[in-house]
Chains A and B, each alone.
Chain A
Amino acid sequence: MLHTVNKSPFDHNTFETCLKFARQGSAVLLIEDGVYAAAAGTAVSKQVQEALKSVSIYALKPDVEARGMQNRVMDGVRLVDYGGFVDLVVEHNAVQSWL
């Protein structure tokens, strides 16, 4: 399963809920304001580090760059471009878009 999250983890509990339901081995792609979850040294970084032990976490590079977060992405979170987004969709049996 590929999960996408497009809300800031500081403004919504979407990311937290996504992690609650993301099973081991699934992928989480952070897009739009969701990419703020990928930043190091924040109030949610510990939660993300913990999640990285069981799920793959990706962040959409154009959204990361637009928000000036390109130098803050924590280790273990992989950046993908739009083509990489498509690849992730193709690789997984289903996509769950958390809103």
Chain B
Amino acid sequence: MAQETQDRVSKKFLYVNRKAPYGTIYALESLEVVLIGAAFEQDVSLAFVDDGVYQLTKGQDTKGLEMKNFSPTFRALEDYDVTKLYVEAEALQARGLTEADLVVPVEVVSAQRMAEIMDGQDVILSF
């Protein structure tokens, strides 16, 4: 049992996303790191707070910018067993958004609940 635990070291990783997509490179870089981390079979969660919630909005069309629209990639996270996506309720509300405006199913949580989620992690990476 102890041996098995040692062989399969799995840590809880939380990626905290606070930036809107496209205006800076942070959002895309975060997603890249999430996919890499997922390949190592870690316990991955994603948090979206502040402008980070904008990464998940439906209807993104980047043709005019000639940049990659990476919002569909969030739908592929499920295939990597990344299913824990937490979105801060106040961030949505301040931006006139609801869960229905997002490209993937998420868990909308209060700031207090988000703090608990953050507290329960082994590794936190902030973008």
Is A8's CB under 8 angstroms from B94's CB? no
Counting chain B residues whose Cβ lies within 8 A of the other chain, the interface size class is 20 to 34
Q: Looking across the interface, which residue of chain A has its beta carbon closest to that of B58?
A: A68
Interface string of B42-79 (1 = CB under 8 A from A): 00000000110010011111111101010100000000
Indicate if the CB atoms of A66 and B67 lie closer than 8 Å. Answer: yes
| Distance from B104 Cβ to chain A, minimum over Cβ atoms (Å) | 13
Residues in B with CB closer than 8 Å to A56 are none
Q: Is the interface of A mostly helix, strand, loop or mixed?
A: loop
A96 within 8 A of B: no
A39 lies within 8 A of B64 (CB): no
Q: Which residues of A contact B (CB under 8 A)?
A: 6-8, 10-11, 32-33, 36, 39-43, 45, 61-63, 65-72, 81
By a beta-carbon cutoff of 8 Å, the part of chain B in contact with chain A is: 19-24, 50-51, 54, 57-65, 67, 69, 71, 94-96
